[in-house]
Structure 1
């Protein structure tokens, strides 16, 4: 079993997973409007300081969606030589554009390292906005994605290829192929049906 994922990893994956299977054979997007982004931030309070007071507007939504597109393009690169998520296979940003978009977003809020050290725990460093710098959600998310992609958890990133799944996940054990058991079940059923079709 692996160590629990870092804050950057959790935020980066949560952002990527706002694109998901819609239950009908297509994909759904949790960030189609400012209300969706506001709800997502409320459900992920470690994504931004003062999450409880956050209310998205259209420019913030557009900036976050740009960071997400860059993140998913770079996730697809990270899982090579494996295939990317089926949701990304035909619409990935070129890697240089994804890198530029992510770096430009991350630079919008200057940050400083902040040390936290709870009792009976190892010290943890997190980036916080520099004194007087307003928090920028897209910048915070871009910095988390960069932290994840530059960190050790990236080696465990995989795309789930179970039927209808479009998720990325962290591989927790050597034989893990799918993001969750239900995806494994669907994949086994699909393989069984495919064998029957070919044999019949």
Structure 2
């Protein structure tokens, strides 16, 4: 039986594990007034889409999801085929905590990689690239990181840039589990 990494010393649950600030509660109460059309055809979804365009300063297509597991599955399913694989830290949420949902809904494999404090490095990923083009192995397609990691560490901009350049240089796409991204923003100043 495989040995799982030990649970972290601290809990870095996603931002939806805590109560909301009063401004969020007020916005929810305001949105609860009167009827609204479903499937994103409402003023609140349009406003949220516009906020994403403004934030990233580019036209974006947003798929709103309820919860982190659903968001990860939708994101991964959009770029994976069943013969492909996700490379992720062994302690990553998609490896340990999502009850196999990414594998179930994409058909793709997850390749857990040893990582110090939950952070992938280029050196740790390199051996999996030997699988590219080998028909007997799942084909690496996605490099997945968590920002902030499940251990509470934060990737620097330079670390993410290095991983992204490496991944893109080898035909991989980068997925970021952003359940704790607000913590990373706060920690980064």
Larger fraction in helix? 1
Q: TM-score, normalised by structure 2?
A: 0.30
Q: TM-score, normalised by structure 1?
A: 0.29
